[in-house]
Amino acid sequence: MNPREVLEFAKKHKVQIVDLKFVDLIGTWQHFSIPVNELTEGLFKDGSGLDGSSIRGWKAINNSDMLVVPDPETACLDPFCAVPTLSLVGNVVDPITRDAYDRDPRFVAQKAEKHLQSTKIGDTSYWGPEAEFFIFDHARYDQTSHSGYYVIDSDEGVWNMGQEGVNLGGKIRHKEGYFPVPPTDTQQDIRSEMILEMERAGIAIEKHHHEVATAGQAEIDIRFDSLVRTADKMMMYKYIVKNVARRHGKTATFMPKPLFGDNGSGMHTHQSIWKDGKPLFAGKEYAGVSQLCLHYIGGILKHAPALAALTNPTTNSYKRLTPGFEAPVLLAYSSRNRSAGIRIPMYSPSPKAKRIEVRFPDPGANPYLAFAAMLMAGLDGIENKINPGEPAEKDLYDLEAKEAAKIRTMPGSLDDALTHLEKDHQFLLKGGVFSEDLIEAWISYKRTKEVDTMRLRPHPYEFFLYYDV
């Protein structure tokens, strides 16, 4: 839609409130609302003001005046407001210079798309994330100076198999949630409601299903789109999942590893590059890909330890990203082999379906930054003709120690990943896509607010291990 069409859409649906959404550095939607009489064509040029001083990862209070300029193409009805509300996603700009704000993640993603075009390699990159999440019945957690705990529960959880009172059995055992039918799968209707709300919001859906873990792990796959549009859709995806769960008296989380001893939640990310309507990843090399695609893979594999700081950006991410478990940590590629860090899907022989699937990201990532960073790594591989090495056909989870030691691995912690990003980020700076300021802000925030605060606090399991020393 263009601005005039947005105004007509709002009038047709008797909108009373306009909600302006933008994303903070870490990847969480923020918003404020204006009455519909403020919705004019000028809003899409002049924007609406906000105080950015309290937004995570943004600059100091002396530069706090900002504008949100809405993108008319993101217009949709908000499905969760009692008052008819139009939702618009916006870019953040400086009110004086009118320059886009360099710490606005959406701006970074837009610059990544323009950089791809400037290289003449391709004109469009397509992205198809497969985000997993949990739907729980209860979630209690707290941390004080003298206590720390979490308690999560799900009627579907295997630990409730012997629960007293009304208990109809059929709980999902650990790692057996892929794909039992109802009544074992208790959340079919909730997921269906989620995808119907997504489709109403303009998000095309491919499928939904229960995931591997017990206790309501789920996956909804959205149809691929261009980089910025897919990141926009991922933000709306999370918003809808959480709000539909709340509508049913449940709670949803995209935390990568909320359960011990069962699968965590990943965000396998399918990606490809096209030019003039033609898929550039299709060819006659290994698994039907092109040499350009292999070089793209080489770039991802080379920069993966640094990418981890953006694709796996929480301390909890590395509870999932652990050798020998469900997430691939060995930096190799393969066709069909899901133990490799990068897989080449083989579902269809069509050149248009040729893509790669990067399997290590998780849904804790800010999609604008994660997608942009992976694109930049892949383009670096193409430009420098980085050889990805030989494909891995064996089950990498079952290699002998000597053989496994020859393959590079993902970092073992967020702190390690941030160190890799400090040392290896020149590829992100090309074309001004990422700035040194943004990278420094990201590393500083993650170190001081997450890594250090986790390191300083006693862990509940430490009491189990050490209280009697």
At residue 303's C-alpha, the angle toward residues 288 and 360, to 5°, is 70
User: CB–CB of 296/281 below 8 Å?
Assistant: yes
Q: Which of 24, 104, 130, 415 is catalytic?
A: 130
Q: Which of 113, 357, 380, 450 is catalytic?
A: 357
Query: CA–CA separation, 215 vs 160, rounded Å?
Result: 10
Amino acid identity, position 300: I
Q: Which of 51, 189, 395, 437 is catalytic?
A: 51
User: CB–CB of 140/404 below 8 Å?
Assistant: no
Q: Which of 210, 229, 268, 320 is catalytic?
A: 268
Q: Which residues pair with 22 in a beta bridge?
A: 30
Beta 356-358 vs 342-344: how paired, if at all? antiparallel
Give catalytic status of residue 393 as yes or no. Answer: no
- E strand or H helix at 301, and its extent? helix 291-311
Give catalytic status of residue 41 as yes or no. Answer: no
Query: CA–CA separation, 309 vs 388, rounded Å?
Result: 21
- E strand or H helix at 244, and its extent? helix 227-247
SS3 content of the chain, % helix, strand, coil (to 5): 35, 20, 40
Residues in the chain: 469
Amino acid identity, position 203: I
Give catalytic status of residue 359 as yes or no. Answer: yes
Q: Which residues pair with 342 in a beta bridge?
A: 333, 358
Q: Which residues contact 109 (CB under 8 A, 6 or more apart)?
A: 227, 228, 231, 368, 369, 371, 372
Give catalytic status of residue 19 as yes or no. Answer: no
Instruction: Output phi, psi for 3, to 5 deg.
Output: -55, -45
Give catalytic status of residue 132 as yes or no. Answer: yes
- E strand or H helix at 35, and its extent? strand 29-35
Q: Which of 359, 380, 415, 425 is catalytic?
A: 359
At residue 106's C-alpha, the angle toward residues 318 and 428, to 5°, is 60
DSSP string for residues in 107-138: HHHHHHHHHHHHHTS-SEEEEEEEEEEEEESE
Q: Which of 208, 338, 408, 447 is catalytic?
A: 338
Q: Strands, DSSP E only, in 276-382?
A: 278-279, 333-335, 342-344, 356-358
What Å distances lie between residue 440 and 180, 422, 423, 444, CA to CA?
Answer: 46, 8, 12, 6
Instruction: Give catalytic residue positions.
Output: 51, 130, 132, 211, 219, 268, 338, 357, 359
